[in-house]
Chain A
């Protein structure tokens, strides 16, 4: 499997976790979040959250080189 396809699959698996809530995986996620706290919301995501906590339609700037595998 190519790196990009595997990367894409991981995003999908973690997305499914948000629905299914596998206990084992949830425990590992909690451990990571306990180390990095609730500030683990991405800077990119914060761009779309208004003071009232609602998403806005602000366009994000692309950084295609940022997460190359």
Chain B
């Protein structure tokens, strides 16, 4: 059973992260505010089921937040589909939720040359298409695609 102090500590640690994440995903400020409140209602409702031996609180709250945003897109039909940068997951779920994976990604990205690193960040963080990246970098689509494939192979090798 988590005490009132424990709940407050979770709120203080995670509220800025939840708010920032939702603000980046939901354009309407009122909807973003409502969604942030909904996330903490869910967190508090499910808190007694949380197993801290399996994941950090922050990781658990992230999963709830991400699912809440996906539900928001699906139920309110803001777009025809959930954004590509949010819908992914699949077989890597476990690795994604490991605390050290983001640092490992940073180290692997840093090992790439600047151009290939930029392509990966613009594609996978910013969600630009390869054609958009080609326009912004003033390079051909075919060349950007080649550079991306090379960068992905290198990242995969370093992260495996």
Contacts and interface: CB of A to CB of B under 8 A. Distances in A.
Interface residues of B, number: 63
Contacts, number: 162
Contacts of A44: 127, 129, 132
Given A20-B58, A54-B27, A32 B117 contact: yes
Given A55-B79, A60-B80, A40 B128 contact: yes
Contacts of A63: 129, 131
A18 B109 contact: no
A11 B62 CA distance: 15
Interface SS majority for chain B: helix
Contacts of A60: 79-80
B149 interface: yes
* Ranked 7 nearest A-B pairs via Cβ: A9-B92, A11-B88, A24-B106, A8-B88, A22-B102, A25-B106, A55-B27
Interface of A: 1, 3, 5-22, 24-25, 28-29, 32, 35-36, 39-45, 48-49, 53-55, 57, 59-60, 63, 66-69
14 contacts: A1-B92, A1-B156, A9-B92, A11-B124, A16-B97, A18-B24, A28-B109, A40-B122, A42-B128, A54-B28, A55-B78, A59-B80, A60-B79, A66-B129
